[in-house]
């Protein structure tokens, strides 16, 4: 089936935290943000949207939570914007109808084969070596002891005990996945984000991450999507070489290396790692600075997933970057990272991107411009759009590290934040990215010392960003074709780059 190219930058947002509902978010996109975004990644709006993992643990993945809207609201949104939604491939909620039936009836439940236990992957038992090899983004082993109809089982729970992993070797699992894909595509969703897909291919004798089985499952879902007129985006954190390899066989991958490399450039005044990445990065990327998760660090470092292959940053550079973020955020990122988020410090740092740059408007806007000039589909997280600082109250109340970057904005708060110069400048820059014809042409980047130049050109249409990461200054210019020439005053306030 022929696909249309996703148009323009996309907003990443929770409906309840940015507009209050699906229709409220659409009102924002068609009102104060008219002409800014061509699409939206609508974070989980399924029933319930406010579970233990902010919607990534739905009890019913095929139903819109009525507190947020209806499938009619989803279709109205998708009529005007490229709509991306999550297919949560790896797990379901422990409170889902299928799993509660298994808890009640054990192996007599028709859904019992759908859920992974230790014996599903290791029917003859697992050795210490087998267990130590399993890759997991959390401390400890990925198993939770549970009782199924009076029998104790070690259930596979990669992320939390409330998120039960499913067994994609079974027809029950595929019937479930297909029902989810059908619900989304029937609702007008044309981009499917495959959440945590890397953890699906559990196989004995492997680290159970990005295995050959994962590739088979990915291609099966991609075919399912293609038959329904949709494309897929893989969500995988890992060694950068894996992203390059994955990109060859799917529609889109995330450029998760870009955020830490931009932060490194602005904190260490060093553009070389970023320039090296531009020479090898996949063209079919979705770019981000921050998302609903933390700022990935594993994506630029060495990894057991690619033994002997260097990272994009050295261990010393990564240590310096993490410490620079903690200093710039005045320790708020340190309070939200590690045990607070039940993960490993060097897997991700929980922090708003604005705080990670010390709330420096010039450097923050420069970071956003580098992202917008980078080839790919730019996605802008709602907290990042509003240059938000860490929500320490929400962090303290929930104890969930990622919540530091998941503030609940009221409509009045959004209206107020949109008036801030740094936010208004971002909006103008995103609107330029969404409308200027130069971005359909050729891209070039040049780096010399702490200075860089990024340029898009199509015929007489051109957009150029000149910048200096040491001074934190820049000049963004655009040809009059597609709009008036642009020069952002925030970047020029300390001298043009």
Percent of the chain having pLDDT more than 70? 93
Rg over CA atoms, the chain? 22
**347 marked ligand binding residue:** yes
pLDDT of residue 209: 92
C-alpha distances (whole Å) from 257 to each of 86, 222, 489 are: 21, 24, 29
**Pair 9, 432: CB distance under 8 Å:** no
* Cα–Cα dist 275/446, whole Å: 8
Mean pLDDT for the stretch of residues 159-188? 97
Task: Identify the active-site residue in 165, 195, 302, 468.
Answer: 195
**Residues comprising the chain, all counted:** 497
**235 marked ligand binding residue:** yes
Task: Identify the active-site residue in 167, 235, 299, 355.
Answer: 235
Query: What's the burial of 295, exposed, middle or buried (CB within 10 Å: 0-12/13-18/19+)?
Result: buried
**193 marked ligand binding residue:** yes
**362 marked ligand binding residue:** no
195 in catalytic set: yes
DSSP letters spanning 115-126 = B-BHHHH-TT--
What is the torsional sign of CA 86, 81, 14, 287? positive
Percent of the chain having pLDDT more than 90? 85
* Cα–Cα dist 163/100, whole Å: 12
How far does CA 453 lie from the centroid of its chain? 27
Q: Is the pLDDT at 482 greater than 60, yes or no?
A: no
Strand spans (E) along 314-433: 348-349, 377-381
Q: How confident is the model at residue 305 (pLDDT cuts 50, 70, 90)?
A: confident
**251 marked ligand binding residue:** no
Cross-strand partners of 446: 453
**255 marked ligand binding residue:** no
Average pLDDT, the chain: 92
pTM of structure:
0.93
Q: How confident is the model at residue 348 (pLDDT cuts 50, 70, 90)?
A: confident
**402 marked ligand binding residue:** yes
108 in catalytic set: no
pLDDT of residue 6: 57
pLDDT of residue 304: 77
Q: Which range is least confidently modeled, 9-13, 36-40, 347-351?
A: 347-351
Mean pLDDT for the stretch of residues 314-329? 94
For 18-27, the pLDDT digits (tens) are 999 999 999 9
For 17-74, the pLDDT digits (tens) are 999 999 999 999 999 999 999 999 999 999 999 988 899 999 999 999 999 999 999 9
Give every CB contact of residue 191 below 8 A, 6+ residues apart in sequence: 6, 39, 41, 82, 83, 84, 85, 230, 231, 232, 233, 252
DSSP letters spanning 152-165 = EEEEE-SS-TTEEE
Helix axes 361-373, 421-435, angle to 10 degrees: 10
Q: Is the pLDDT at 243 greater than 70, yes or no?
A: yes
**Cis bond leading into 488, ω under 30°?**
no
Cross-strand partners of 151: 148
End-to-end Cα, the chain, rounded Å: 46
């Amino acid at each position: 089936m022929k696909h249309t190219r996703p148009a323009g930058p996309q907003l990443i947002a929770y409906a309840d935290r940015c507009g209050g509902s699906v229709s409220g978010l659409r009102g924002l996109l068609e009102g104060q943000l008219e002409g800014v975004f061509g699409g939206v990644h609508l974070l989980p709006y399924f029933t319930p949207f406010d579970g233990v993992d902010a919607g990534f643990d739905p009890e019913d993945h095929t139903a819109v939570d009525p507190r947020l809207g209806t499938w009619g609201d989803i279709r109205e949104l998708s009529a005007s914007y490229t709509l991306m939604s999550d297919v949560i491939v790896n797990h379901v909620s422990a409170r889902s109808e299928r799993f509660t039936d298994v808890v009640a009836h054990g192996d007599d439940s028709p859904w019992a084969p759908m859920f992974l236990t230790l014996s599903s992957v290791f029917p003859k038992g697992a050795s210490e070596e087998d267990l130590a090899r399993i890759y997991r983004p959390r401390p400890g082993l990925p198993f939770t002891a549970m009782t199924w109809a009076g029998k104790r089982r070690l259930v596979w729970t990669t992320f939390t005990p409330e998120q039960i992993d499913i067994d994609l070797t079974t027809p029950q699992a595929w019937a479930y996945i297909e029902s989810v894909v059908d619900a989304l595509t029937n609702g007008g969703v044309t981009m499917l984000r495959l959440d945590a897909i890397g953890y699906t291919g559990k196989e004995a004798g492997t680290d159970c991450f990005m295995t050959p089985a994962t590739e088979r499952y990915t291609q099966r879902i991609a075919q399912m999507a293609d038959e329904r007129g949709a494309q897929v985006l893989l969500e995988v954190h890992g060694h950068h070489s894996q992203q390059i390899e994955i990109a060859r066989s799917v529609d889109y991958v995330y450029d998760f290396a870009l955020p830490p490399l931009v932060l490194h450039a602005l904190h260490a005044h060093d553009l070389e790692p970023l320039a090296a990445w531009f020479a090898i990065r996949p063209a079919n990327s979705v770019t981000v600075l921050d998302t609903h998760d933390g700022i990935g660090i594993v994506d630029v470092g060495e990894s057991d997933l690619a033994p002997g292959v260097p990272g994009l940053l050295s261990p010393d550079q990564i240590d310096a970057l993490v410490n620079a973020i903690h200093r710039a955020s005045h320790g708020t990122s340190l309070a939200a990272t590690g045990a607070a988020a039940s993960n490993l410090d060097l897997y991700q740092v929980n922090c708003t991107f604005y705080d990670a740059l010390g709330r420096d408007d010039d450097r923050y806007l420069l970071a956003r411009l580098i992202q917008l000039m980078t080839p790919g589909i730019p996605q802008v997280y709602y907290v990042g759009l509003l240059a938000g600082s860490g929500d320490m109250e929400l962090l303290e109340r929930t104890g969930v590290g990622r919540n530091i970057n998941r503030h609940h904005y009221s409509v009045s708060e959004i209206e107020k934040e949109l008036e801030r110069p740094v936010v208004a400048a971002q909006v103008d820059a995103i609107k330029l990215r969404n409308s200027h014809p130069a971005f359909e042409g050729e891209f070039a980047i040049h780096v010399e010392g702490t200075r860089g130049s990024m340029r898009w050109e199509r015929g007489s249409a051109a957009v150029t960003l000149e910048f200096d990461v040491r001074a934190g200054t820049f000049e963004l210019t655009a040809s009059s074709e597609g709009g008036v020439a642009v020069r952002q005053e925030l970047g020029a306030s300390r001298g043009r780059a």
